Chains A and B, each alone.
Chain A
C-alpha cells in the first residue's frame, strides 16, 4: 500500500525512538531516514513520550482526540497553557454550521455510498452481513473500554448508546442510507426559510419527528453507524466524506444534548440582506461539554496563562471545582513595563471607542495625535491594536485624509494588517526588517486578529503597544446573544460581566505581546477612558494591574508622552545579569533555599 506505512508497521513499533526532543520536522526527518511513516510514528510516539506539546484541539476536539489522545495514561498531567481562550476552543470543537453547499456535497456523498453498497452487495455480500451482526451485538467493546476506563471518553459518543444495539431501522446499510437521505431532505427544507429561526434541540427533535417521522434514537446512533459503514465499505478517502460525517455528527449531537446547544437558522448574512445564503448554526454554548472528559479522565489538569483574569470566572464557565487557584505577580528587577491609561486628548476630549463616539472626528484626531507623538519618542517598533478591522479601516482612512499618516511617516514606516494572511505575513516581516535596520516602524493591527494571537514582539520589535479602544466582541451576533443568555441562566454570569471579561482578556493579550522576558521592556498604552473604571481595570492580569498607579488613570496625550519619555530613558540604561540575580533570576542554590521557597509561597496569592 504505502511503503512508509508498511515499513513502520513492520519494525517501527519495536524500535524505540532515541531519547531527545522532536518536533514535527524532526520526526519527518527521522521518518525519512528510516523509511517510516512519520504520521504513524508521531501517533505512536505520543503514547511513549514523557512530555507531549500539542494543540488543544488534539485533546478537546472529539474528532481528533479519538485518534490521537484516546490512549493517554490516566495519570498524565494535562497542562493547558495560554488557556485564556480555552472556552472558545471548546465551543468551536462542538459547533456545526450547515450551508446549502454542505448539503449538496452531502447529497453526492450519499449517492456514492449507495453505489458502493450496491457494488459490494453483488460481490461481497458477506461483508455487509458481518457488519449487521456486529451492530446487533452493539457497541459492547466501546462500552467495556469506557467502563474499565481504558480510553478517553468521546462526547460525541454518549453513554446511553453504548449500552444498546444500533436500532433496527438503520441497521442495514441501505436503510441507513435511506435514513440519511430523509434527514438531509429535512435539513434542506429547513434552510428554505425567509426569516431567522432560533430553537432549542428538543424543539428541533419534535419538529423533525412531526415532519419526517425521524425518531430521536436512530439519530443518536448516526455518527457511530456512519463510521461503521465507512469502515465496512473500506473507503480510504475519508476526507471526501467530510460533509456526510458533519451531518451525522450533527444528528448525534442534537439528539444527545438537550441543553447547552442552540439552533439558529439565518436565511442571509446581516451585511447582505439581498443575497440568500441560508446557514444553520448548531452552536454549542457550554464549553464544559467538550472539556468534561478531560476533567473526568486525568488526575491533574492545570489551566494556566499569563492573562487568565479574573480567575473565578473560569471554574464557572468550564464547570469544574478547582483544587487550588493561585495568581502570581511578576518579580522584576526593574519595572520593565509601564501601563498608562490615556483618557483625554490635549483638548480634553474624552477618548473612547464606544459606539456613540467612534465616528467622532475629535476622537479620531486625538488618537492620531497620540500615535504621532509616540512615533516621535519611541525607538524602533510600535504596535497599535484596534478593536475591529472595520474600525481600523475607517480610522486609517480618516487619518490619511487629515494628513496624520504622512506626518507619522516622517518618523516611522507604517505597516497595516490586512484580512489576507499572506499579505499580513509580508507586512510583518518588513516591519521586523524596518525595526532591525533602525528605521523604526509602526504596525497597525487588530485585537482578536491573527497578529494579536500568534506573534510576539520581543525587545525592539515592540517597545510600545497602543490599545485603541476596548476590544469588545461584536455584540449583535445572534450566536453570541444566545450564549450570553445561556451564561446568565445557567451560571448566573451577567452579560456585561462576561463581555467585559472577554474584552479585557483580549486587551491584556494584545499589550502582553510586547513583554516576552525579563530583560525586555515596553510601554502599554490603553487609549480609552473606560479602562480607568474599576470594573475594567480589575479584570486586567495582576502583573499589569499592580503597575498602574492612581496617577496614570486619566492622562492626556501630552502627559503620556512625558511619562513615556521618562520611562524609556530609564529603561535604555544598561541592564546586566548581575542586576537580576537574586531578584528575578535565581541560581539553583537560591531556588532551593528555604527562604526563597517561603517567599514564593507568600507571593502566590491564594484565593
Chain B
C-alpha cells in the first residue's frame, strides 16, 4: 500500500466492478478501485496506459464508465449509488477528461526523447555523466535548460525533436457522424480531437466556448446548440439572432472579407490584375453582370452561394490551422526581404514577389543549357564589415591610416638616408643570442610553441581536458543564462549555480590540475578554465554586492 502516500483527487463510493461493490479512487497518476471491505486495489491503471474513456448514454438504466487501455483491454465501472450515480459518473468523467490528455503525450514520450538524445549525442552523454551522475547538478536542472534550448535553437537541425504539428483533416466535421437514436433524435459523438479541430479551425467557436461554458451553459448544452445552429449547417441562412453562433458566422464573414481585402501575394493568380479593362463601360456584347444583390435572388440561390462561400472559408481555415506555426517565420522572412530592397514606394517598384513569380513563369528548366552549380548569393547588409573581417576587441592603441602613412613615409625617409655604421654593431655573442631568441622555441617566439600541445600531451589527458572544458562550459552556460537576474527564481538559481561552479572546481578541476602539475610542470593547461571561473565569480560578486546595497 505504498500508494497511500499518493494524492487522492477523488473518491467515489458504491462503484461496482464485475458485480462487486467497491470504491473508486482517482489519484494523481492512476485510477484504482478496491472492493468493499478490503484495503487493496484489485484494479489499478496508470493514466498513461488508458487510451480513452467511454460513458453510457443518458437515459440508460445502468450508469457506466468504461476505460479502454492501449492494450485493448477494457474495464467497466458501474455507478450504483442511486441518488448520486449520475453526478458521480460525471465527476469521474470530467476529471479523467482533464487528466488523460496530459499523460497521453507527456509521460513516456519525454523519457524516450531524453534517452534518444543521450544516445545520439556522445558529447551530451559525457556531459550528463560528468554533471548529473557525479551529482553536480540535478537531472531536472540539466534537462530543463537543455530541452528548452534545443527547441528554440534550431528547429531544422533537431527536426525529430521538435515534432511537426499534425494538421487538421479537411473533413473533421464530416467525421462527426450523427447517429439516429431511434426516437427522432440525433446523437453526435465528439472526441477531444474533434473538439480540438473545431477550436483550431474556428477560433470564434472557441471564444464562444470560453465565454459561455460553464457559467451559462454546460458543455453538453453548448455542443447541442452548436449542432443545432445554422452555423453548423452551412446551407441554411441566418435568420434568427437569438442563436449564440450567429455572431460566429458574422465573425467568419468578417475574417473572409479581411482575407479577401488583403489580396493575394502571387500576381499570377490575382484575377483582379489579370482582367484587362480595355473596353469602356457601355461597349462590348456582354452587359453588366446581373446584379448579385440578395433582393432578386431566390432563397435557394443565396443558400447555394452561402455553401460555396463557406466551403472556401472552411478550406482556408483548415489550411491556416495546419500551417499556423510554420507560417510566422516565413512571413517575417518575406517581409524583411521586401523591406530590404525597397521600403517605401512599393507602388513604383515591382514588389520582389512579382518579379520572382514572373521569372519562374517564363523560365523553362529543360531549356537551360546545363545544370550550373547553384551558388548562394551573399547577402551583405554592411559590406565593409565583410571586407575587414572580425576585428579582435583588444585594449590596444589603434593607429589611424594617417598614422600609418606618416610612419611609412618616415621609414622610407629613414631608409633613404640610411648609412650602415659598421663600427658600432652588436657583438657576435649578443647577435647570436638575439637570433636564438627570435627563432622558433626561443624566448620571444613562445607563441609558436603552442602548436605542439597536441604532441606534448598524451591523448588521455587531452580527452580529459576536453571533457572538463565541455562540462565547465555547460555549467558556465547555466550560470550566465541566469543574467539578468530579475526573478526570485533566477536569484535562487544563480546562487546555486555559483556553488555548483565552486564544487566543480574543487572536485574536478583541482585534481586534474594537480595531476598535470605532477607530470608537466611547465604547461599551464587549466589557466584558461580558471580564468573563466574567475570571471564568473567576479560577476557573481558584483551582482551580490549590488544586491546587498539595494537591500540596505
Q: Which residues of A contact B (CB under 8 A)?
A: 23, 25-26, 28-29, 32, 55, 57-58, 61, 63-64, 88, 91-93, 95-99, 102, 242-243, 246, 269, 271-272, 275, 279, 281, 283-284, 393-394, 396-397, 400-401, 403, 405-407, 409-416, 418-430, 432-434, 437, 439, 441, 450-451, 454-456, 479, 517-519, 577, 580, 585
Of A32, A413, A418, the residue contacting B318 (CB under 8 A) is A413
Taken together as a complex, chains A and B put the C-alpha atoms of A75 and B424 apart, in Å, by 94
Binds A, one of B25-33, B307-315, B377-385, B465-473: B307-315
A406-B173, A422-B263, A428-B264 known; A64+B366 contact, CB < 8 A: no
B235 at the interface (CB under 8 A from A): yes
Nearest CB of A to B266, in Å: 6
Taking a contact as CB atoms under 8 Å apart, the answer to whether A426 and B366 are in contact is no
B residues within 8 A CB of A26? 350
A92 to B279, Cβ gap below 8 A? yes
Across the interface, B272 reaches (CB within 8 A) one of A279, A403, A414, A422, namely: A422
Contact call A396/B279, Cβ cutoff below 8 A: no
Return the contact of A63 from the options B167, B265, B280, B318 (Cβ within 8 A). Answer: B280
- A451 to chain B: which residues have CB within 8 Å? 271
Chain B residues with CB below 8 A from A437, complex form: 319, 322-323
Partner of A397, one of B235, B289, B309: B235
Q: Can you name the residue of chain A whose Cβ is closest to the Cβ of B171?
A: A409
Is there an interface contact between B285 and A55, defined as CB atoms closer than 8 Å?
Answer: no
Q: Are A55 and B350 touching (Cβ within 8 A)?
A: no
**B315 near A425: Cβ-Cβ < 8 Å:** no
Q: For residue B320, which residue of chain A has the nearest CB?
A: A430
- Report the minimal beta-carbon distance from B303 to chain A, rounded to whole angstroms: 7
Complex Cα–Cα for A283 and B282 (A): 11
Q: Which residues of A contact B171 (CB under 8 A)?
A: 406-407, 409-410
Query: Closest CB of chain A to B164's CB: distance in Å?
Result: 11
How far, in angstroms, from A415 to B275 measured CA to CA in the complex? Answer: 21
Interface SS of chain A: helix
Are the CB atoms of B304 and A393 closer together than 8 Å?
Answer: yes
Question: Can you name 20 extra interface pairs (CB under 8 A) apart from A397-B300, A425-B270?
Answer: A23-B358, A25-B354, A61-B279, A400-B235, A406-B173, A409-B171, A415-B315, A416-B308, A418-B309, A426-B259, A426-B312, A427-B316, A428-B271, A430-B315, A434-B319, A439-B322, A454-B274, A517-B366, A580-B366, A585-B366
A55: chain B residues within 8 A (beta carbon): 276, 278
Query: Roughly how many angstroms separate A95 CA and B283 CA in the complex, as a whole number?
Result: 6
Q: Looking across the interface, which residue of chain A has its beta carbon closest to that of B316?
A: A430
A490 to B276: give the CA distance in the assembly, Å.
Answer: 31
| Chain A, Cβ-Cβ closest to B303 | A397
Asked if B211 is at the interface of the complex by the 8 Å CB criterion, the answer is no
Within 8 A of A (CB), among B276-309: 276, 278-287, 289-290, 292, 296, 300-301, 303-305, 307-309
Measured between beta carbons, the chain A residues less than 8 angstroms from B263 are 422, 425-426
In the complex, A455 Cα to B357 Cα: how many Å? 13
Give chain B residues whose Cβ lies under 8 Å from the Cβ of A93: 279, 283-284
Among all A-B residue pairs, the 10 with the closest Cβ atoms: A406-B174, A57-B278, A409-B171, A409-B170, A413-B315, A393-B304, A410-B171, A428-B269, A429-B264, A92-B284
B170 touches A410 (CB 8 A): yes
B154 at the interface (CB under 8 A from A): no
Question: Can you name 14 A-B pairs with beta carbons within 8 Å?
Answer: A23-B358, A64-B278, A93-B283, A246-B282, A397-B235, A413-B318, A419-B289, A423-B260, A424-B271, A426-B263, A427-B312, A437-B322, A439-B170, A455-B269
Interface contact B235-A95, CB-CB below 8 Å: no
Instruction: Contact check, A396 vs B312: say whether CB atoms are below 8 A apart.
Output: no
Contact with A along B434-448 (1 / 0, CB 8 A): 000000000000000
Report which residue of B169, B260, B262, B349 has the largest number of chain A beta carbons within 10 angstroms of its beta carbon. Answer: B260
Residues of chain B within 8 A (CB-CB) of A420 are 260
Contacts of A97 in B (CB 8 A): 282-284, 287
Chain B residue nearest to A579 (CB atoms) is B366
| A416 and chain B: residue at smallest CB distance | B308
- Judge whether B348 and A29 touch: CB under 8 Å: yes
CB-based nearest B residue for A449: B271
Please, which residues of chain A bring their CB within 8 A of the CB of B265?
Answer: 429
What residues on B are CB-neighbors of A430 within 8 Å? Answer: 312, 315-316, 319
In the complex, are the beta carbons of B287 and A434 less than 8 A apart? no
Check B348–A32 contact: CB distance below 8 A. yes
B304 touches A407 (CB 8 A): no
Chain B residues in contact with chain A, CB under 8 A?
Answer: 167, 169-171, 173-174, 234-235, 256, 259-266, 268-272, 274-276, 278-287, 289-290, 292, 296, 300-301, 303-305, 307-309, 311-312, 315-316, 318-319, 322-323, 348-350, 354, 358, 361, 364-367
What's the minimum C-beta distance from A206 to chain B, rounded to whole angstroms?
Answer: 25
Q: Nearest Cβ in chain A — how far from B327, in angstroms?
A: 10
CB < 8 Å neighbour of A432 from B266, B292, B311, B366: B266
Beta-carbon contact of A434 and B315 below 8 Å: yes
A55 CA to B276 CA, complexed, in Å: 8
Asked if A409 meets B279 with Cβ closer than 8 Å, knowing A414-B311, A425-B271, A428-B264, the reply is no
Taking CB atoms, residues of chain B closer than 8 Å to A29 are: 348-350
Cα(A427)–Cα(B312), bound, Å: 6
Q: A93-B283, A519-B365, A577-B366 are in contact. Are A405 and B311 (CB under 8 A)?
A: yes
Task: Name the residue of chain A whose CB is nearest to the CB of B174.
Answer: A406
Chain B nearest CB, measured from A96 CB (Å): 6
Contact A283 B285 (CB under 8 A): yes
A427 to chain B, nearest CB (A): 5
Within the assembled complex, what's the spacing in Å between the Cα atoms of A55 and B171?
43
Nearest CB of A to B255, in Å = 11
* B276-A281 in contact (CB<8A): no
Q: Least Cβ distance of B343 to chain A in Å?
A: 15
Task: Kindly state the separation between the CA atoms of A60 and B18 in the bound complex, as whole angstroms.
Answer: 89
Contact B319 A413 (CB under 8 A): yes
Residues of A within 8 A of B361 (CB): 456
- Which of B269, B300, B307, B366 contacts A425, CB < 8 Å? B269
- Decide: B266 and A415 in contact? CB cutoff 8 A: no
List residues of chain A with CB within 8 A of the CB of B259. 426
Q: Which of B270, B275, B296, B307 contacts A272 (CB 8 A)?
A: B296
Nearest CB in chain A: distance from B329 CB, A: 15
Measured CB to CB, the closest approach of chain A to B263, in angstroms, equals 7
Contact B285 A479 (CB under 8 A): yes
Given A242-B280, A394-B304, A450-B275, A88 contacting B354 (CB threshold 8 A): no
The reply to whether A397 and B307 form a contact with Cβ atoms under 8 Å apart is: yes
B395 to chain A, nearest CB (A): 48
> Nearest chain B CB to A479's CB is how many angstroms away?
6
- Once the chains are docked, how many angstroms separate the CA of A102 from the CA of B110? 73
Chain B min CB distance to A405 (Å): 7
Alpha-carbon gap, A424 to B311, bound state (A): 12
Q: Verify B279–A517 contact, CB threshold 8 A.
A: no
The residue that B167 contacts in the complex, of A400, A429, A439, with Cβ under 8 A, is: A439
Q: Give the contacting residue for A421; candidates B275, B281, B301, B364; CB below 8 A.
A: B275
Which residues of chain B have C-beta atoms less than 8 A from A92's C-beta?
279, 283-286
* A437 CA / B330 CA spacing, docked (Å): 14
> Nearest B residue to A249 by beta-carbon distance?
B283
User: Which residue in A25, A271, A454, A585 is a CB contact (below 8 Å) of B290?
Assistant: A271
**Contact between chains at A102 and B315 (CB < 8 Å):** no
Contact A426 to B316, CB < 8 A, known contacts A95-B283, A397-B307, A580-B366 = yes
Known contacts A279-B287, A393-B308; is A454 also within 8 Å of B271 by CB? yes
Q: List, in ascending order, chain A residues with CB within 8 A of B318's CB.
A: 413
**Nearest-Cβ distance from residue A84 to partner chain B, whole angstroms:** 17
Q: Give the Cβ gap from A318 to chain B, nearest Cβ, in Å.
A: 16
Output the residue of A61, A97, A433 with the most chain B CB within 10 A.
A97
Residues of A within 8 A of B274 (CB): 450, 454-455
A-side contacts of B319, CB under 8 Å: 413, 430, 433-434, 437, 439
B260 pairs with A422, CB closer than 8 A: yes
Minimum C-beta distance from A414 to chain B (A) = 5
A428 contacts across to B, CB distance below 8 A: 264, 269, 271
B311 x A246 contact (CB < 8 A): no
Inter-subunit contact B312/A25 (CB<8 Å):
no
